[in-house]
């Protein structure tokens, strides 16, 4: 793994000293990077010619080919810029018209009939009509296995198109979150028929990322930047900004340097979306400095560690419970999050539907943690170092995205807390794709696996627990009642009885809580930092979207 620069917290442990010296550190880092011809050189070279109508943003990687029906390496925020849904998710959980101007639902809940908006075209001029909608649905349905985390795809029986402006979705069963899942950024959004490959199957490839949305992807340079331009043929309110340059900046410290040097206009992210764009230490210093607008979103999802119940020491429920009791979350919230996020004691925030269950939290209690480990046969062989059992150390791999400043800081904190009770946490920091592979194949002891926020939680998230390619499935695989959990998930998604639905969610979430499969950390927020050059910045209704179309440049 490449060596990363030390975090600001490591260099300057005292918050006041950090606030004073971060700008000096940033300037020195920028100077060093320019001399070395590193990433800041590219930023400075591009910024020197940045037009007045260009917004400069950054992301840890390129946005990908932007296939609307596929996942990584396609970046969700960028897919949301180019492609649109039939209906959109709005603040407070409302479902509003988008490419469909209206819809009706049959009394039995199985048939959704959409009337498409008039006069909409894709950015290449191709008409948006029912045949384009059907073509996109059919390629998604042809690849159901790829989308098996999303119950809606499994429930669609057929797509009917009585005329050019009418689309009828016929479901196998009534499915209560259907509209919420139609609003998601992927996979049910719409690519121009002209951009489909000859096979008609977008699982193979796409010719170009052509949607109906307010933005067009016009240039990609690997490892450097992606460029979006305003779609002047957009059917809705057109963005005020003409151009967005998304620079590839993998390292949070380099991003901070670029922002303070005037090479970036905006930092947006920091929850589940975008990982640690900059550290919370840096965010706090910038906010207090007053030169930038800096603010946090309301809690959007849960920041969670999944524990592997199938293999390694965490296969023992006593070890999992001991780990949960060992962590002083209040100290973490104060020391790492600077009280910017709230402590989490359950898998989902109590504000999520069906999730205000008031489950008894695993309180910070090192004595209880040590007693559990003693009872499980993990004994201390020395005052320091890991406990031992059958000649083996109590050692757990804690996996995180290596260039995510926040995950790294949390991982180091957890390592320190667990060492106090005799658990050795081996920190494994890797690229995002590598961590994704670990989540798919279960090659972890503990791994970051945050919930998804609205409109996914809880239905889409628990649905994905049944899919082997997700960390939650792998984490739960060793539970003796895993089959019962999966069966109850299938029932809760399809029942039309509200009381039964509430009881099933209670059973599912209570079982997972009692089995100590998850270490909830905080209810996470996203951050925004922007210069005085940008106005109209707000958070979207979904954590994974960035409302660039509302922003203006002064």
CATH number of 163's domain:
3.40.190.10
E strands present in 254-297: 266-269, 293-296
**In angstroms, rounded to a whole number, what is the distance separating the alpha carbons of residues 348 and 462?**
11
Residue pair 194/12 in contact by the 8 Å Cβ criterion: no
Residue 1 forms part of a structural domain: no
Residue 67 forms part of a structural domain: no
* Whole-number pLDDT of residue 395: 97
Residue 203 forms part of a structural domain: no
> pTM to 2 decimals?
0.80
Q: Are residues 252 and 308 in the same domain?
A: no
Residue 70 forms part of a structural domain: no
CA 179, distance to chain mean position in Å, is 20
Residue 208 forms part of a structural domain: no
**In angstroms, rounded to a whole number, what is the distance separating the alpha carbons of residues 165 and 99?**
10
pLDDT in tens, the chain (554 residues): 333 333 444 444 443 343 334 444 444 443 343 333 344 444 444 444 567 899 999 999 999 999 999 998 999 999 999 999 999 999 878 999 999 999 999 999 999 999 999 999 999 999 999 999 999 999 999 999 999 889 999 999 999 999 999 999 999 999 999 999 999 999 999 999 999 999 999 998 999 999 999 999 999 999 999 999 999 999 999 999 999 999 999 888 999 999 999 999 999 986 544 456 888 888 889 999 999 999 988 888 899 999 999 999 999 999 999 999 999 999 999 998 888 889 999 999 998 999 999 999 999 999 999 999 999 999 998 888 899 999 999 999 999 999 887 899 999 999 999 999 999 999 999 998 899 999 999 999 999 988 988 899 999 999 999 999 889 999 999 999 999 999 999 999 999 999 999 999 999 999 999 999 999 999 988 889 999 999 999 999 888 899 999 999 98
* Whole-number pLDDT of residue 195: 97
Structure tokens at 491: 């029932």
Report DSSP state, residue 186: S
Residue 148 forms part of a structural domain: yes
CA 243, 246, 248: angle at the middle one, nearest 5?
Answer: 160
Helix axes 15-36, 252-260, angle to 10 degrees: 90
Q: Give the CATH number of the domain where residue 403 resides.
A: 3.10.105.10
Q: Are residues 257 and 390 in the same domain?
A: no
**In angstroms, rounded to a whole number, what is the distance separating the alpha carbons of residues 539 and 524?**
14
Q: Are residues 284 and 338 in the same domain?
A: no
Residue 87 forms part of a structural domain: yes
* Whole-number pLDDT of residue 134: 97
The sign of the dihedral angle between the CA atoms of 284, 286, 291, 295 is negative
Segments forming the whole domain that contains residue 416: 301-524
**In angstroms, rounded to a whole number, what is the distance separating the alpha carbons of residues 25 and 31?**
10
Count Cα atoms within 13 angstroms, Cβ side, for 90. Answer: 6
Q: Are residues 121 and 21 in the same domain?
A: no
* Whole-number pLDDT of residue 159: 97
* Whole-number pLDDT of residue 212: 98
Q: Are residues 42 and 186 in the same domain?
A: no
Q: Are residues 305 and 440 in the same domain?
A: yes
**In angstroms, rounded to a whole number, what is the distance separating the alpha carbons of residues 514 and 336?**
27
Residue pair 388/394 in contact by the 8 Å Cβ criterion: yes
Q: Are residues 117 and 27 in the same domain?
A: no
Of 282, 286, 319, 306, the residue nearest 406 (C-alpha):
282
Residue 209 forms part of a structural domain: no
Q: Are residues 440 and 539 in the same domain?
A: no
Q: Are residues 437 and 310 in the same domain?
A: yes
CA distances from 227 to 78, 231, 289, 431 (A): 11, 13, 31, 24
Structure tokens at 362: 């695993």
Please give the tally of structural domains in the chain: 3
* Whole-number pLDDT of residue 22: 40
Q: Are residues 374 and 512 in the same domain?
A: yes
Among residues 165, 195, 225, the one where a domain terminates is 195
Q: Are residues 387 and 460 in the same domain?
A: yes
Q: Are residues 15 and 143 in the same domain?
A: no
Specify the length of the chain in residues: 554
């Amino acid at each position: 793994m490449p060596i990363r620069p030390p975090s600001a917290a490591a260099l300057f442990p005292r918050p006041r000293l950090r606030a004073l010296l971060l700008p000096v550190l940033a300037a020195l880092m920028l100077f060093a990077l320019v001399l070395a011809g590193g990433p800041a050189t590219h930023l400075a070279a591009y910024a020197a010619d940045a037009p007045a109508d260009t917004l400069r943003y950054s992301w840890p990687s390129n946005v990908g080919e932007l296939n609307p029906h596929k996942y990584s390496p396609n970046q969700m925020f960028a897919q949301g810029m180019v492609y649109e849904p039939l209906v959109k998710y709005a603040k407070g959980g409302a479902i509003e018209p988008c490419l469909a101007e209206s819809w009706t639902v049959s009394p039995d809940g199985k048939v959704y009939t959409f009337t498409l908006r008039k006069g909409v075209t894709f950015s290449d001029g191709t008409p948006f009509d029912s045949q384009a909608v059907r073509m996109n649905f059919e390629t998604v349905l042809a690849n159901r296995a790829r989308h098996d985390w999303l119950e809606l795809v499994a429930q669609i029986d057929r797509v009917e198109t009585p005329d050019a402006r009418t689309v009828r979705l016929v479901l196998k069963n009534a499915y209560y979150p259907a509209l919420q899942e139609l609003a998601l950024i992927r996979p049910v959004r719409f690519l121009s028929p002209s951009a489909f490959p000859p096979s008609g199957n977008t699982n193979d490839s796409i010719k170009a990322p052509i949607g109906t949305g307010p933005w067009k992807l016009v240039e990609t340079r690997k490892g450097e930047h992606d460029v979006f331009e305003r779609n002047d043929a957009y059917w809705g309110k057109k963005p005020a900004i003409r151009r967005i340059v998304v620079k590839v900046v993998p390292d949070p410290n380099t991003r901070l340097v670029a922002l303070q040097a005037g090479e970036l206009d905006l930092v947006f992210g920091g929850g589940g979306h975008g990982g640690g764009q900059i550290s919370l230490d840096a965010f706090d210093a910038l906010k207090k400095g007053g030169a930038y607008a800096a603010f946090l979103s309301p809690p959007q999802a849960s920041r969670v560690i999944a524990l592997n119940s199938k293999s390694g020491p965490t296969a023992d429920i006593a070890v999992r419970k001991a780990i949960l009791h060992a962590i002083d979350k209040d100290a973490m919230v104060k020391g790492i999050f600077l009280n910017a996020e709230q402590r989490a004691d359950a898998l989902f925030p109590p504000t999520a539907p069906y999730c205000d269950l008031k489950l008894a939290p695993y309180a910070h209690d090192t004595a209880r943690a040590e007693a559990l480990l003693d009872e499980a046969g993990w004994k201390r062989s020395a005052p320091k170092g890991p406990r031992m059992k059958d000649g083996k150390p109590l050692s757990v791999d804690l996996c995180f995205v290596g260039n995510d400043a926040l995950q790294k800081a949390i991982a180091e904190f957890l390592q320190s807390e667990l060492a106090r009770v005799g658990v050795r946490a081996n920190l494994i920091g890797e690229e995002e794709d590598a961590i994704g592979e670990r989540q798919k194949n279960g090659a972890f002891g503990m791994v970051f696996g945050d919930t998804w926020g609205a409109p996914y939680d809880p239905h889409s998230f628990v649905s994905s627990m049944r899919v082997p390619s997700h960390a939650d499935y792998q984490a739960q695989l060793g539970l003796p009642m895993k089959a019962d959990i999966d069966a109850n998930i299938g029932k809760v998604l399809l029942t039309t009885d509200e009381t039964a639905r509430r009881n099933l969610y209670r059973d599912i979430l209570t079982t997972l809580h009692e089995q100590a499969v998850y270490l909830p950390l905080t209810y996470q927020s996203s951050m925004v930092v922007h210069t005085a050059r940008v106005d109209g910045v707000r958070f979207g209704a979904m954590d994974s979207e960035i409302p660039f179309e509302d922003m203006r440049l002064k």
